[in-house]
């Protein structure tokens, strides 16, 4: 009996939607919805990755006080240093300081590995290394070696251990 009543009830409901209001989904509409859903899902993921990379870059960048402390260095070319008859070996990397060509790191986009004076000849990947001298003790090192020494929080001369920057940990 319920089934009969159910059929009668369905039959008695008025049909309010005509054939015009039953729109079919076109391929363009489906593509638009899929694209919208993808943007809604991918946009937050890209934002999180971007903010993480930005934080990582900020953590790896040397603080301004470290960069200002590099002002205590004298810069001289390798030819000048080689003519003085001082130490001819960088005690950090144990490579010669003398004016000679040697292979150098390829450009990495990092200021740490680029001496200020690039002397490329014939398109070769060789250059003369820039030499930095500490003002206090006059010991000389490759610029990239001394900067990397400084960035690992070593604030003394690698040769005589004389402090060239007094840093207070916070």
pLDDT interval class at 72 (50, 70, 90): low
What tens digit of pLDDT does each residue of 1-12 get?
A: 455 555 555 555
What is the pLDDT at residue 50?
A: 95
Backbone angles phi, psi at 73, to 5 degrees: -100, 145
pLDDT score of 103 more than 80: no
d(CA 80, CA 133): 11
d(CA 92, CA 69): 19
Which one is predicted more confidently, 17 or 156? 156
Question: pTM for this one?
Answer: 0.37
Q: Residues near 35 by Cβ (< 8 Å), separated by ≥ 6? A: none
Per the CB < 8 A criterion, the answer to whether 99 and 82 are in contact is yes
Mean of pLDDT values over 62-72: 64
d(CA 71, CA 35): 54
What is the pLDDT at residue 68?
A: 63
Which residues is 103 bridged to in the sheet?
Answer: 126
């Amino acid at each position: 009996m319920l089934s009969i009543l159910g059929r009668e009830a369905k039959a008695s409901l008025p049909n309010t939607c005509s054939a015009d209001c039953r729109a079919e989904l076109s391929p363009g509409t489906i593509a638009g919805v899929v694209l919208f859903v993808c943007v809604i899902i991918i946009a937050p993921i890209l934002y999180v990755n971007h903010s993480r990379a930005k934080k990582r870059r900020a953590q790896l960048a040397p603080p301004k006080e470290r960069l200002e402390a590099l002002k205590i260095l004298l810069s001289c070319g390798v030819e000048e240093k080689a003519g003085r008859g001082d130490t001819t070996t960088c005690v950090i990397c144990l490579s010669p300081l003398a004016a000679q060509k040697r292979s150098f790191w390829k450009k990495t986009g990092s200021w740490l590995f680029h001496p200020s004076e690039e002397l490329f000849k014939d398109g070769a990947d060789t250059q003369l290394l820039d030499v930095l001298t500490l003002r206090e003790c006059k010991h000389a090192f490759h610029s990239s070696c001394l900067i990397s020494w400084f960035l690992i929080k070593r604030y003394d001369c690698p040769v005589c251990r004389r402090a060239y920057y007094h840093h207070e940990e916070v």
